[in-house]
């Protein structure tokens, strides 16, 4: 009996303790509920418990994706090409294809002969230019030999003219003396009348000869001065004629070489437009050669991310033909114009392709990486309000609604903020639908409103301290 009573007492005590524990839990839950009830907190002027996080500045790896397609790094349209001797108006404007050494898909080296043309007329033109060159060279050599001789002849002519005028001057003086002597003797009847007139005629002849000698020396002097200029002119003309002939010969020689059309680059023949026997013009495209090592990838890069692309930037390319491989290259060119309809800007990435495994026209996808510093917040702190992104920022114990501008980076539950927040600020994080729909619900239904007092010591109100 005593045993039974003891058991009943212990059982009653256990029930009382259990009820006390339940009552304590109920009171704690009620206190916590009262503490977290926004309406109660507002009525009592108490802060609403919230959980927060700090705005941080982090080093992020921004990844930008874009569709891609491979294109040749170089493309050459192979032509004969016009020249002075081979143009659309020249006798060799139309040329016959003699031999074709390629077909589509042929791998060619730079300088390899692709097409040979009939060159009989060109060879005849070359021979004619060669003869003209030889003639011009002979004429130049003749002028070079003649120039010093002409100078010597002019010097001799001038010396002779100077001697002649000296002789004629002395002769005139002598004739004057004889004439005066005979005139006196004639008056004294010592000389005949005919001797007197003969001396007079000789005196006139001496004067005439002196005048002619004076003219001769003037001509000789003028010829001495002008002759040197004439020699220089003749020499310059001969040199010019020789250079023109030499250039014409070199052009004709080049035209003969151009009849053997060579590849301007190393790559693959992508197109052949002629066959042996075809008559082609000098401007007609005979074939097309593309270079695939390195190969280029054209990206349709989104215009919204222009700040994140630069020349030299690393790029990862995944092609549809090789889905299990990632090819690494770098940006080499950014197009200066954006396509306003597609809202993309072409960006060129260069990939090494030593075995020419990659071919042009393969579609795929590319990723560009850019490491940079960014201001980040937890995604749980972001809300949409009337088409704008806002957060609750804690300022002096109150929750303030602040509009922010988001960046493109988002990873591991954090999102980049471009404007509106600075590192070190405190923002409210949430998991409640009330937060996410802030501005769409009534004040009665909203857990947190602008300018509410908040308690950020979540460990205390969550009873975790």
Six-digit token string for 171: 């002769």
Decide if pLDDT at 436 tops 50: no
Say whether both 239 and 299 belong to one domain. no
Q: For residue 74, is it within any domain?
A: no
Q: With bands split at pLDDT 50, 70 and 90, how would you rate the model's confidence at 93? A: low
Decide if pLDDT at 315 tops 90: yes
pLDDT of residue 178: 79
Torsional sign, CA 413, 415, 420, 423: positive
Mean pLDDT of 438-445: 46
Phi/psi at 358 (5° precision): -85, 135
Residue 164: CATH number of its domain: 1.10.287
Q: For residue 363, is it within any domain?
A: yes
Q: With bands split at pLDDT 50, 70 and 90, how would you rate the model's confidence at 8? A: low
Say whether both 268 and 295 belong to one domain. no
Q: For residue 86, is it within any domain?
A: yes
Residue 330: CATH number of its domain: 2.40.30.170
Say whether both 366 and 387 belong to one domain. no
**Single residue among 371, 396, 411 that ends a domain in this structure:** 371
Span of 158-162, 235-239, 268-272, 274-278 with lowest mean pLDDT: 158-162
Span of 65-69, 325-329, 330-334, 458-462 with lowest mean pLDDT: 458-462
Decide if pLDDT at 345 tops 80: yes
Which range has highest mean pLDDT (179-193, 327-341, 438-452)? 327-341
Six-digit token string for 33: 């509920």
Say whether both 86 and 156 belong to one domain. no
The answer to whether 81 and 282 have CB atoms below 8 angstroms apart is yes
- Is 435 or 22 the better-scoring residue by pLDDT? 22
Decide if pLDDT at 33 tops 60: no
* Domain range for 277: 80-118+259-281
Mean pLDDT of 373-382: 90
CA 370 distance to own-chain centroid: 23
pLDDT of residue 40: 73
Q: With bands split at pLDDT 50, 70 and 90, how would you rate the model's confidence at 35? A: low
pLDDT of residue 32: 52
- Is 310 or 204 the better-scoring residue by pLDDT? 310
User: What does the DSSP 8-state code read for residue 46?
Assistant: P
The percent of residues above 70 in pLDDT, for the chain, comes to 84
Mean pLDDT, the chain, rounded, equals 84
Based on the structure, what is the number of domains in the chain? 4
Beta bridge partners of 205: none
Q: For residue 325, is it within any domain?
A: yes
Mean pLDDT of 30-50: 68
Residue 102: CATH number of its domain: 2.40.50.100
Decide if pLDDT at 320 tops 80: yes
Say whether both 250 and 263 belong to one domain. no
Q: With bands split at pLDDT 50, 70 and 90, how would you rate the model's confidence at 137? A: very high
Q: For residue 25, is it within any domain?
A: no
Mean pLDDT of 12-30: 63
Say whether both 208 and 320 belong to one domain. no
Q: For residue 69, is it within any domain?
A: no
Specify the pairing of strand 279-281 against strand 51-54: unpaired
Span of 112-116, 154-158, 411-415 with lowest mean pLDDT: 154-158
Mean pLDDT of 286-315: 94
Say whether both 358 and 437 belong to one domain. no
Say whether both 128 and 253 belong to one domain. yes
Say whether both 140 and 86 belong to one domain. no
DSSP helix/strand/coil, 152: helix
Q: How far apart are the first and last CA of the chain?
A: 49
Q: For residue 433, is it within any domain?
A: yes
Please state the three-class secondary structure of 384-451 as a single string. Answer: EECCEEEEEEEECCEEEEEECEEEEEEECCEEEEEECCCCCCEEEECCCHHHHCCCCCCCCCCCCCCC
Decide if pLDDT at 155 tops 90: no
- Widest CA span of the chain, in angstroms? 217
């Amino acid at each position: 009996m005593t045993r039974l009573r003891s058991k009943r007492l212990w059982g009653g005590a256990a029930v009382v303790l259990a009820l006390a524990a339940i009552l304590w839990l109920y009171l704690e839950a009620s206190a916590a509920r009262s503490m977290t009830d926004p309406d109660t907190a507002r009525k009592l002027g108490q802060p609403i418990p919230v959980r927060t996080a700090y705005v941080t500045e982090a080093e992020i790896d921004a990844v930008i994706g874009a569709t891609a397609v491979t294109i040749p790094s170089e493309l050459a349209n192979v032509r004969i090409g016009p020249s002075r001797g081979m143009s659309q108006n020249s006798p060799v404007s139309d040329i016959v294809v003699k031999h074709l050494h390629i077909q589509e898909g042929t791998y060619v080296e730079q300088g390899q002969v692709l097409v040979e043309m009939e060159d009989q007329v060109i060879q005849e033109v070359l021979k004619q230019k060669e003869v003209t060159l030889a003639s011009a060279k002979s004429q130049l050599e003749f002028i070079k030999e003649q120039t010093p001789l002409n100078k010597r002849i002019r010097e001799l002519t001038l010396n002779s003219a100077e001697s002649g005028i000296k002789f004629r001057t002395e002769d005139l003086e002598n004739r004057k003396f004889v004439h005066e002597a005979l005139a006196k003797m004639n008056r004294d009847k010592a000389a005949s009348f005919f001797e007197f007139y003969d001396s007079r005629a000789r005196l006139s002849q001496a004067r005439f000869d002196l005048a002619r000698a004076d003219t001769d020396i003037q001509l000789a002097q003028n010829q001495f001065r002008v002759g040197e200029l004439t020699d220089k002119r003749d020499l310059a003309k001969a040199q010019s004629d020789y250079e023109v002939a030499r250039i014409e010969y070199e052009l004709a020689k080049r035209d003969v070489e151009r009849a053997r059309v060579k590849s301007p680059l190393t790559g693959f023949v992508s197109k052949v437009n002629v066959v042996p026997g075809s008559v082609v013009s000098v401007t007609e495209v005979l074939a097309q050669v593309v270079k695939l090592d390195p190969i280029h990838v054209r990206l349709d890069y989104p215009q919204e991310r222009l700040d994140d692309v630069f020349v030299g930037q690393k790029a990862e390319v995944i092609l549809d033909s090789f889905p299990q491989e990632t090819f690494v290259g770098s940006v080499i060119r950014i197009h200066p114009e954006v396509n306003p309809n597609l809202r993309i800007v072409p960006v060129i990435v260069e990939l090494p392709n030593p075995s020419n495994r990659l071919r042009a026209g393969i579609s795929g996808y590319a990723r560009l990486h850019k490491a940079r510093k960014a201001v980040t917040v937890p995604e749980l702190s972001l809300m949409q309000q009337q088409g704008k992104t806002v957060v609750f920022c804690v300022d002096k114990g109150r929750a303030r609604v602040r509009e922010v501008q988001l960046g493109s980076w988002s990873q591991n539950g954090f999102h980049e903020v471009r404007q509106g927040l600075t590192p070190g600020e405190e923002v409210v994080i949430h998991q409640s639908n009330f937060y996410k729909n802030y501005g769409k619900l009534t004040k009665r239904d909203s857990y947190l409103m602008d300018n509410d007092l908040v308690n950020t010591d979540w460990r205390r109100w969550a009873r975790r301290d």
